[in-house]
Amino acid sequence: MSNIFSASNSDSTLFIGGQRISGAQVREQNVLAAVSISNVVKTSLGPVGLDKMMVDDVGDVTISNDGATILNLLEVDHPAGKILVELARQQDKEVGDGTTSVVVIAAELLKRANELTKNKLHPTAIMTGYRLGCREACKFIADNMAIKVAGIDRETLRNIALTTLSSKILGNYGNHFADIAVESVLNIKTTDFRGKPKYPIKAISILKIKGASASESTCVNGYAIQRSYASQGMNQKVSNAKVACIDFDLTKVRLKMGISIVIDDPESLEDIRKREIDITREKLQKILDAGANVILSTRGIDDVYLKMLVETNSVAVTRIPKDELRRIAKGIGATILTTMSNLEGEETFEASSLGSAEAVEQVRLSDEDCVVIRGVKETASSVILRGANDHMLDEMERSLHDSLCTVGRVLESGSVVPGGGAVEAAINVYLENFASTLGSREQLAVAEFASALLVIPRQLAVNAAKDATDLVAKLRAYHSASQMPQANATRLALKYYGLDLMNGKLRDNKAAGVLEPAMSKIKMLKSATEAAIAILRIDDMIKLIPEKPQEDPHAH
């Protein structure tokens, strides 16, 4: 029986209409795709990394140096490349920072694995070695490199935020935004069902308002909505606010489509019109009678009813996005009502549906009005960002989001590690020593895993226009000395040494306050190893050619 694949060529054609690439060829292709993607983002790594400008098919411009953002905007066709894009997205979701590093490490692991397969080492042995190297590296970070953070140490949290911001657009305003990040995250503390503290970063709303300098950005303890009051005549500030959150229109009742009324008396028409207005007026009156003096709505309110609100010294904000209203309702203890009908079909509004806040006021910032809700039940936080233009504000938001995430992760996990390539260099030295104790083929894979990690300090030095070879060699020497069996206290302190990229030398990054969440490094290594292994497992690619739709002969 003839084989369904023609055996003459590894790039064989299938009888089902497609192509099959296998063995070394597919591995080469996958590694090439991964390295190409890594080359796009690696120059944006570190405090002196460069930005990328992405222009989409519509002509919208995005300028960023955030790995996940860059990769999301790239249109990657290669299946192996898509795995790396997904990897950056996952790192961004789970940790919020380290998106560029994770892609660079994964690509380097793949490149080295490809070299090993050329030297006749089986991919399965490489995978086993990589897994072993990753497990030992994570254990080493937890046991030797992690520095425990006792309680809420504001200075450490500030340093964490500063380290993250240093590689972003906000690096120049680092101190100001580090304080905003720490303040915002501490304001949203909640506990889960086991009593463990949680910091849901999504609870922090970020408002972007053009005009003024970035240094005028502020943190508000409460909720800020980028909308103005529904009417100019409303009071600027309402104290002791009772807030109704509604998800229905307060507009004149109109008959449904297809319903027609036949009348023979023209005056009855006026009565019908009047009644249409009165039905909604009664609804609004019930809300006000329940004690509400602030109405937040996802829909619109007609002018007739706004006049009623102005007369009763109440305020209303309309067209608030639903997810934002949900967050506010949760914080002020209100219930969002989609209708006022109860089970009997009568229209009522219970006072228990209202939420409360100390004050609701309208604040003017440059050309825009914002409504700020202060003194709410649950802790809440909003950051008002100011900047010159939309591109800058978008990048500021991404930068701030990363620093908020890292501060939150440190508060949840309680441990940090020194930055500036210190962890990668320490693991490199440790794994090389560890590899020499293995008496199996995995020794080669573990040694390559160790060498791959040096890509981070090397790339940091290259991006800073410093002598990478010299700095990385010195860094390894320091960490090698700190891991000697008879190392004294002075030598042990060398394990916190990392790169000082501004001055092109080494320094104690623990003392300098260059810190990162330990969780970020561990997640990064695990994710990069898994992604590299997933791509390494592939030894066959079958690509089907899409069928062309057959033309109907009767169509003409």
Is there a single domain that holds both residue 236 and residue 137? no
**Count of helices and strands (H, E) across the chain:** 18, 22
Q: What is the pLDDT of residues 27-54, one digit of tens each?
A: 999 999 999 999 999 999 988 888 899 9
Catalytic center residues: 66, 99-100, 402
Same-domain check for residues 369 and 270 = yes
Contact yes or no for 106/73 (Cβ under 8 A) = no
Are 248 and 375 in a shared domain?
yes
Cα dihedral sign for 399, 404, 407, 412?
negative
Per-residue pLDDT at 552? 63
Distance CA 522, CA 528 (A): 10
326, 375: one domain? yes
Domain interval for residue 52: 24-148+418-538
In the structure, what pLDDT confidence band is assigned to residue 3 with cuts at 50, 70 and 90? very low
pLDDT of 517 > 80? The answer is: yes
Please write the tens of the pLDDT for every residue from 117-164.
999 899 999 999 999 999 999 999 999 999 888 777 788 899 899 988
- For residue 107 the two structure tokens come to 């690509």
Residues 6+ apart with CB under 8 A from 430: 136, 137, 140, 144, 450, 483
What is the C-alpha separation between 179 and 165, in angstroms, rounded?
A: 11
Q: Can you say how many angstroms the Cα of residue 196 is from the centroid of all Cα atoms in its chain?
A: 22
366 lies in the same domain as 470: no
Query: Which pLDDT belongs to residue 491?
Result: 82
H-run or E-run covering 505: strand 505-508
Is residue 31 domain-shared with residue 142, that is, in the same domain? Answer: yes
Q: Structure pTM?
A: 0.83
Distance of alpha carbon 531 from alpha carbon 541, whole angstroms: 17
DSSP-assigned states of every residue in 410-469: HHHH-EEEETTTHHHHHHHHHHHHHHTT--STHHHHHHHHHHHHTHHHHHHHHHTTS-HH
The reply to whether 470 falls in a domain is: yes
pLDDT score, position 450? 95
Residue 61 lies in a domain: yes
Residue 74 lies in a domain: yes
C-alpha triplet 218, 221, 225: angle, nearest 5°: 75
Rounded distance between C-alpha atoms, residue 459 and residue 51, angstroms: 15
Nearest to 362, CA basis, from 308, 304, 317, 309: 317
Q: How confident is the model at residue 471 (pLDDT cuts 50, 70, 90)?
A: very high
> Where residue 276 sits, what CATH number does that domain have?
3.50.7.10
Tokens 């500036």 map to which residue? 420
Q: Where are the beta strands (DSSP E) in 189-291?
A: 190-191, 197-198, 204-210, 218-220, 222-225, 237-246
Same domain, 238 and 359: yes
Q: Given this model, what pLDDT does residue 522 score?
A: 93
Are 340 and 245 within 8 A, CB to CB? Answer: no
Task: Tell me how crowded residue 114 is: count the other CB atoms within 10 A of its CB.
Answer: 20
Whole-number Å distance between alpha carbons of 101 and 525: 9
Instruction: Report yes or no: 66 and 99 within 8 Å, Cβ to Cβ.
Output: yes
Nearest Cα neighbor of 531 from 31, 157, 15 is: 31
Q: What is the pLDDT of residue 13?
A: 61
Q: Is residue 267 part of a domain?
A: yes
- Domain for residue 205, yes or no? no
Same domain, 463 and 368: no
The CATH number of the domain where 122 resides is what?
A: 1.10.560.10
**Which pLDDT band, with edges at 50, 70 and 90, does 6 fall under?**
very low
Shared domain for 366 and 434, answered yes or no, is no
One domain, residues 369 and 237? yes
Q: Please tell me the total count of domains within the chain.
A: 2
DSSP classification of residue 538: -
Is residue 207, in this structure, part of any structural domain at all?
A: no
Mean pLDDT of all residues in the chain?
87
φ, ψ at 404 (rounded to 5°): -60, -45
Number of CB atoms found within 10 A of residue 389's CB: 9
In a shared domain, residues 226 and 375? yes
* Residue 547 pLDDT > 60: yes
Tokens matching residue 326? 């949900």
| Residue 4, pLDDT score | 39
d(CA 518, CA 507): 19
Q: 217 in a domain, yes or no? A: no
332's tokens: 């002020």
What Rg, from alpha-carbon coordinates, does the chain have? 30
- What is the C-alpha separation between 223 and 205, in angstroms, rounded? 7
Domain shared by 348 and 258, yes or no: yes
Rounded to an integer, what distance in angstroms lies between the CA atom of residue 492 and that of residue 145? 11
User: DSSP labels for 318-376?
Assistant: ----HHHHHHHHHHHT--EES--B-TTS-B---GGG-EEEEEEEEEEETTEEEEEEEEE
Q: Which residue has the tokens 């009565």?
A: 271
Q: What are the residues whose beta carbons fall under 8 Å from the beta carbon of 101, sequence distance 6 or more? A: 45, 67, 456, 524
Say if 227 falls within a structural domain: yes
Residue 158: which of 175, 171, 144 has the closest Cα?
Answer: 175
Quick check: helix, strand or coil at residue 393? Answer: helix
424-445 pLDDT, tens digit each: 999 999 999 999 998 888 899 9
